Amino acid sequence: MDKISRREFLIRGATLGLAYGGLGLISTPSILRAVTEAAPPKPLDLAVAKGGSPAENTMKAIQALGGIERFVKKGSKVALKPNCLAANPPEIASTTNPDVMEVLVKMCLQAGAREVVVTSHDPERSFQISRVTDVCSAAGARVVAANTRDLYQSVPVLRGRLLQNVEIIKEILDADVFINVPIAKHHSQTEVTLSMKNLMGINWDRAFFHINGLDQAIADLNTVVKPDLIIMDANRILLTNGPAGPGQTRDERTVIAGTDPVAMDAYTTALFDRAPRDIRHIRFAYESGIGEMNLDKLKIKEMAVN
Protein backbone atom coordinates (compact mmCIF):
# COMPACT_ATOMS: atom_id res chain seq x y z
CA MET A 1 0.00 0.00 0.00
CA ASP A 2 1.39 3.42 -0.91
CA LYS A 3 2.20 5.72 1.98
CA ILE A 4 0.27 8.95 2.25
CA SER A 5 1.20 12.18 3.98
CA ARG A 6 -0.39 13.26 7.26
CA ARG A 7 -2.14 16.09 5.42
CA GLU A 8 -3.55 13.67 2.81
CA PHE A 9 -4.71 11.39 5.60
CA LEU A 10 -6.62 14.22 7.26
CA ILE A 11 -8.25 15.30 4.02
CA ARG A 12 -9.32 11.73 3.16
CA GLY A 13 -10.65 11.33 6.67
CA ALA A 14 -12.67 14.51 6.36
CA THR A 15 -14.20 13.29 3.09
CA LEU A 16 -15.27 10.04 4.73
CA GLY A 17 -16.68 11.99 7.63
CA LEU A 18 -18.89 14.00 5.32
CA ALA A 19 -20.15 10.80 3.67
CA TYR A 20 -20.98 9.16 6.98
CA GLY A 21 -22.59 12.36 8.17
CA GLY A 22 -24.90 12.25 5.17
CA LEU A 23 -26.03 8.80 6.30
CA GLY A 24 -26.73 10.06 9.78
CA LEU A 25 -23.95 7.95 11.30
CA ILE A 26 -22.16 10.94 12.82
CA SER A 27 -23.38 14.43 13.45
CA THR A 28 -20.19 16.50 13.64
CA PRO A 29 -17.14 15.40 11.67
CA SER A 30 -14.56 16.76 14.13
CA ILE A 31 -11.75 15.85 11.76
CA LEU A 32 -12.79 18.83 9.65
CA ARG A 33 -11.53 21.13 12.35
CA ALA A 34 -8.03 19.74 11.91
CA VAL A 35 -8.22 20.35 8.19
CA THR A 36 -9.77 23.81 8.21
CA GLU A 37 -7.89 25.35 11.14
CA ALA A 38 -5.68 28.20 10.05
CA ALA A 39 -2.00 27.38 9.91
CA PRO A 40 0.08 29.03 12.64
CA PRO A 41 1.59 32.34 11.53
CA LYS A 42 5.01 32.15 9.96
CA PRO A 43 7.69 33.25 12.42
CA LEU A 44 9.58 36.41 11.63
CA ASP A 45 12.67 36.16 9.50
CA LEU A 46 14.01 39.45 10.83
CA ALA A 47 13.03 41.62 13.79
CA VAL A 48 14.31 45.19 13.64
CA ALA A 49 14.16 47.43 16.73
CA LYS A 50 14.92 51.12 16.29
CA GLY A 51 15.21 54.23 18.40
CA GLY A 52 16.06 52.96 21.87
CA SER A 53 19.28 52.37 23.73
CA PRO A 54 21.49 49.47 22.59
CA ALA A 55 20.18 47.32 25.43
CA GLU A 56 16.53 48.25 24.81
CA ASN A 57 16.83 47.62 21.08
CA THR A 58 18.40 44.22 21.73
CA MET A 59 15.69 43.11 24.13
CA LYS A 60 12.89 44.34 21.86
CA ALA A 61 14.26 42.57 18.78
CA ILE A 62 14.74 39.26 20.61
CA GLN A 63 11.29 39.50 22.15
CA ALA A 64 9.76 39.90 18.68
CA LEU A 65 11.47 36.68 17.54
CA GLY A 66 9.86 34.74 20.37
CA GLY A 67 12.10 35.59 23.30
CA ILE A 68 15.51 34.33 24.27
CA GLU A 69 13.86 31.17 25.64
CA ARG A 70 13.16 30.11 22.07
CA PHE A 71 16.90 29.66 21.63
CA VAL A 72 18.39 29.14 25.10
CA LYS A 73 17.12 26.22 27.15
CA LYS A 74 17.81 25.49 30.80
CA GLY A 75 21.14 23.84 31.36
CA SER A 76 22.59 24.83 28.00
CA LYS A 77 26.05 26.20 27.29
CA VAL A 78 25.89 29.38 25.22
CA ALA A 79 28.74 30.84 23.16
CA LEU A 80 28.60 34.51 22.14
CA LYS A 81 30.83 35.80 19.35
CA PRO A 82 31.32 39.60 19.34
CA ASN A 83 33.55 41.59 17.01
CA CYS A 84 36.52 42.78 19.08
CA LEU A 85 38.95 43.19 16.20
CA ALA A 86 40.43 46.55 17.18
CA ALA A 87 41.57 47.99 20.50
CA ASN A 88 39.12 50.88 20.35
CA PRO A 89 36.49 52.25 22.72
CA PRO A 90 32.85 51.69 21.70
CA GLU A 91 32.50 55.24 20.33
CA ILE A 92 34.69 54.33 17.33
CA ALA A 93 32.07 51.75 16.21
CA SER A 94 34.64 49.13 15.26
CA THR A 95 33.68 46.69 18.02
CA THR A 96 30.38 45.23 19.22
CA ASN A 97 28.65 47.56 21.65
CA PRO A 98 29.32 46.35 25.22
CA ASP A 99 25.75 47.16 26.30
CA VAL A 100 24.46 44.72 23.67
CA MET A 101 26.83 42.06 24.98
CA GLU A 102 25.93 42.70 28.61
CA VAL A 103 22.20 42.36 28.10
CA LEU A 104 22.68 39.21 26.02
CA VAL A 105 24.72 37.54 28.76
CA LYS A 106 22.10 38.44 31.35
CA MET A 107 19.21 37.23 29.18
CA CYS A 108 20.90 33.89 28.52
CA LEU A 109 21.59 33.30 32.20
CA GLN A 110 18.06 34.33 33.16
CA ALA A 111 16.77 31.78 30.64
CA GLY A 112 18.64 29.09 32.56
CA ALA A 113 21.92 28.73 30.70
CA ARG A 114 24.43 26.88 32.84
CA GLU A 115 27.32 28.77 31.25
CA VAL A 116 27.90 31.67 28.88
CA VAL A 117 31.26 32.04 27.17
CA VAL A 118 32.21 35.12 25.13
CA THR A 119 34.93 34.31 22.63
CA SER A 120 36.62 35.40 19.41
CA HIS A 121 40.00 35.25 17.70
CA ASP A 122 40.75 38.85 18.67
CA PRO A 123 43.45 40.43 20.85
CA GLU A 124 42.81 40.33 24.59
CA ARG A 125 43.56 44.04 24.71
CA SER A 126 40.73 44.67 22.26
CA PHE A 127 38.29 42.86 24.53
CA GLN A 128 39.45 45.09 27.36
CA ILE A 129 39.54 48.47 25.59
CA SER A 130 36.11 47.83 24.03
CA ARG A 131 34.77 47.13 27.55
CA VAL A 132 33.46 43.73 26.47
CA THR A 133 35.60 41.91 29.05
CA ASP A 134 34.47 44.06 31.97
CA VAL A 135 30.74 44.07 31.28
CA CYS A 136 30.47 40.42 30.26
CA SER A 137 32.53 39.18 33.21
CA ALA A 138 30.48 41.28 35.62
CA ALA A 139 27.28 39.89 34.10
CA GLY A 140 28.45 36.31 34.73
CA ALA A 141 30.13 35.20 31.50
CA ARG A 142 33.55 33.70 30.91
CA VAL A 143 35.58 35.69 28.36
CA VAL A 144 38.11 33.87 26.15
CA ALA A 145 40.39 35.67 23.69
CA ALA A 146 41.09 32.65 21.48
CA ASN A 147 44.63 33.45 20.39
CA THR A 148 46.45 30.10 20.69
CA ARG A 149 46.04 27.22 18.28
CA ASP A 150 45.32 24.65 20.99
CA LEU A 151 41.93 26.35 21.47
CA TYR A 152 40.86 25.26 17.97
CA GLN A 153 39.65 22.05 16.33
CA SER A 154 39.85 21.17 12.64
CA VAL A 155 36.57 20.42 10.89
CA PRO A 156 35.92 19.53 7.22
CA VAL A 157 34.21 21.94 4.83
CA LEU A 158 32.07 19.51 2.88
CA ARG A 159 30.31 22.13 0.75
CA GLY A 160 33.27 24.43 0.26
CA ARG A 161 34.41 25.67 -3.13
CA LEU A 162 37.69 27.04 -1.77
CA LEU A 163 38.09 25.69 1.75
CA GLN A 164 38.57 22.00 2.48
CA ASN A 165 38.82 22.33 6.24
CA VAL A 166 38.91 25.05 8.88
CA GLU A 167 40.02 25.22 12.49
CA ILE A 168 37.15 26.44 14.68
CA ILE A 169 37.19 27.62 18.31
CA LYS A 170 36.43 24.57 20.45
CA GLU A 171 34.27 26.56 22.86
CA ILE A 172 31.88 27.26 19.98
CA LEU A 173 31.85 23.68 18.73
CA ASP A 174 31.12 22.50 22.28
CA ALA A 175 28.29 24.97 22.87
CA ASP A 176 24.63 24.01 22.79
CA VAL A 177 23.71 27.47 21.51
CA PHE A 178 25.83 29.76 19.34
CA ILE A 179 24.91 33.44 19.07
CA ASN A 180 26.75 35.65 16.57
CA VAL A 181 26.90 39.32 17.65
CA PRO A 182 28.54 41.41 14.89
CA ILE A 183 28.70 45.15 14.56
CA ALA A 184 27.72 46.59 11.18
CA LYS A 185 30.67 48.43 9.63
CA HIS A 186 32.60 49.25 6.49
CA HIS A 187 35.38 46.99 5.26
CA SER A 188 38.13 48.02 2.87
CA GLN A 189 38.16 44.69 0.99
CA THR A 190 34.61 43.34 1.18
CA GLU A 191 32.78 46.72 1.37
CA VAL A 192 30.96 45.69 4.53
CA THR A 193 31.59 43.37 7.44
CA LEU A 194 28.37 42.02 8.91
CA SER A 195 27.29 38.67 10.35
CA MET A 196 28.87 36.27 7.86
CA LYS A 197 32.23 37.99 7.83
CA ASN A 198 32.20 38.15 11.63
CA LEU A 199 32.59 34.37 11.62
CA MET A 200 36.15 34.85 10.38
CA GLY A 201 36.86 35.45 14.05
CA ILE A 202 35.93 31.88 14.99
CA ASN A 203 38.60 30.32 12.74
CA TRP A 204 42.36 30.15 13.21
CA ASP A 205 43.98 30.88 9.83
CA ARG A 206 42.55 34.18 8.66
CA ALA A 207 45.56 34.85 6.45
CA PHE A 208 44.51 31.98 4.18
CA PHE A 209 41.18 33.71 3.59
CA HIS A 210 42.81 36.97 2.54
CA ILE A 211 45.42 35.35 0.30
CA ASN A 212 43.23 32.82 -1.52
CA GLY A 213 39.89 34.55 -2.04
CA LEU A 214 38.24 36.35 0.84
CA ASP A 215 34.64 36.44 -0.38
CA GLN A 216 34.44 32.77 -1.34
CA ALA A 217 36.20 31.73 1.86
CA ILE A 218 33.61 33.65 3.92
CA ALA A 219 30.79 31.90 2.09
CA ASP A 220 32.46 28.51 2.55
CA LEU A 221 32.94 29.09 6.28
CA ASN A 222 29.25 29.83 6.65
CA THR A 223 28.39 26.39 5.26
CA VAL A 224 30.13 24.87 8.29
CA VAL A 225 28.88 26.87 11.26
CA LYS A 226 25.36 28.30 11.39
CA PRO A 227 24.51 30.43 14.43
CA ASP A 228 21.30 29.65 16.29
CA LEU A 229 20.70 33.39 16.63
CA ILE A 230 22.27 36.52 15.15
CA ILE A 231 22.10 39.93 16.83
CA MET A 232 23.31 42.71 14.54
CA ASP A 233 24.61 45.75 16.42
CA ALA A 234 23.76 48.71 14.19
CA ASN A 235 23.38 51.20 17.01
CA ARG A 236 26.35 53.17 15.69
CA ILE A 237 27.86 52.05 12.39
CA LEU A 238 31.30 52.71 10.91
CA LEU A 239 30.95 54.11 7.39
CA THR A 240 34.58 54.60 6.38
CA ASN A 241 38.07 53.29 7.16
CA GLY A 242 36.83 49.90 8.29
CA PRO A 243 37.22 47.46 9.74
CA ALA A 244 39.40 49.00 12.45
CA GLY A 245 38.61 52.73 12.13
CA PRO A 246 38.54 55.41 13.26
CA GLY A 247 36.36 56.77 10.50
CA GLN A 248 33.04 58.41 9.83
CA THR A 249 30.21 57.03 11.95
CA ARG A 250 26.44 57.38 12.00
CA ASP A 251 24.03 56.67 14.83
CA GLU A 252 21.36 54.31 13.50
CA ARG A 253 20.09 53.24 16.93
CA THR A 254 19.10 49.88 15.48
CA VAL A 255 19.41 46.20 16.37
CA ILE A 256 18.44 43.47 13.91
CA ALA A 257 17.75 39.92 15.09
CA GLY A 258 17.31 36.78 13.00
CA THR A 259 18.56 33.30 12.27
CA ASP A 260 19.41 33.49 8.55
CA PRO A 261 22.87 35.02 8.05
CA VAL A 262 22.27 35.86 4.40
CA ALA A 263 18.99 37.59 5.18
CA MET A 264 20.58 39.48 8.06
CA ASP A 265 23.40 40.78 5.89
CA ALA A 266 21.15 41.49 2.92
CA TYR A 267 18.91 43.70 5.05
CA THR A 268 21.82 45.51 6.70
CA THR A 269 23.52 46.46 3.41
CA ALA A 270 20.86 49.16 2.94
CA LEU A 271 22.40 51.07 5.86
CA PHE A 272 25.49 51.44 3.67
CA ASP A 273 23.57 52.30 0.48
CA ARG A 274 24.53 48.94 -1.02
CA ALA A 275 22.52 46.18 -2.69
CA PRO A 276 22.99 42.60 -1.41
CA ARG A 277 23.81 41.24 -4.86
CA ASP A 278 26.69 43.70 -5.19
CA ILE A 279 28.41 42.27 -2.09
CA ARG A 280 30.28 39.23 -3.38
CA HIS A 281 30.28 37.07 -0.25
CA ILE A 282 26.54 37.67 0.28
CA ARG A 283 25.85 36.63 -3.30
CA PHE A 284 28.14 33.60 -3.03
CA ALA A 285 26.45 32.49 0.19
CA TYR A 286 23.01 32.87 -1.37
CA GLU A 287 24.09 30.85 -4.40
CA SER A 288 25.39 28.14 -2.04
CA GLY A 289 21.95 27.85 -0.44
CA ILE A 290 22.99 29.23 2.94
CA GLY A 291 20.10 31.67 3.14
CA GLU A 292 17.78 34.13 1.42
CA MET A 293 18.94 37.51 0.16
CA ASN A 294 15.72 38.60 -1.58
CA LEU A 295 14.08 40.82 1.00
CA ASP A 296 10.66 40.62 -0.64
CA LYS A 297 10.56 36.93 0.27
CA LEU A 298 11.19 37.60 3.95
CA LYS A 299 8.84 38.34 6.82
CA ILE A 300 10.35 41.42 8.44
CA LYS A 301 8.98 43.41 11.37
CA GLU A 302 10.36 46.88 12.09
CA MET A 303 9.54 48.32 15.51
CA ALA A 304 10.06 51.67 17.17
CA VAL A 305 11.37 51.54 20.73
CA ASN A 306 10.03 54.20 23.11
Confirm whether 1 is domain-assigned.
no
Q: Does the pLDDT at position 16 exceed 80?
A: no
Distances from the Cα of 142 to the Cα of 87, 107, 135, 256, 267, angstroms: 19, 15, 11, 25, 31
pLDDT tens readout for residues 96-114: 999 999 999 999 999 999 9
Q: Are residues 158 and 280 in the same domain?
A: yes
Q: Are residues 121 and 237 in the same domain?
A: yes
Q: Are residues 137 and 237 in the same domain?
A: yes
pLDDT tens readout for residues 113-136: 999 999 999 999 999 999 999 999
Across the chain, where does the E strand assignment appear?
A: 46-50, 77-82, 115-120, 142-145, 152-156, 165-169, 177-181, 183-187, 191-193, 229-238, 249-258, 300-304
Could you list the residue range(s) of the whole structural domain that residue 18 is in? Answer: 6-36
Confirm whether 41 is domain-assigned.
no
Distances from the Cα of 149 to the Cα of 16, 180, 224, angstroms: 65, 21, 19
Q: Are residues 143 and 21 in the same domain?
A: no
d(CA 76, CA 84): 24
pLDDT tens readout for residues 40-95: 567 899 999 999 999 999 999 999 999 999 999 999 999 999 999 999 999 999 99
Q: Are residues 13 and 68 in the same domain?
A: no
Confirm whether 230 is domain-assigned.
yes
The DSSP call for residue 203 is: B
Q: Are residues 138 and 188 in the same domain?
A: yes
> Under a CB-based contact definition with an 8 Å cutoff, are residues 175 and 113 in contact?
no
The DSSP call for residue 41 is: P
The residues that bridge with 302 in the sheet, in sequence order, are 48
Q: Are residues 12 and 103 in the same domain?
A: no
Q: Which CATH number characterizes residue 62's domain?
A: 3.40.50
Looking at the 3D structure of the chain, how many domains does it have?
2
Strands 229-238 and 249-258: what pairing? antiparallel
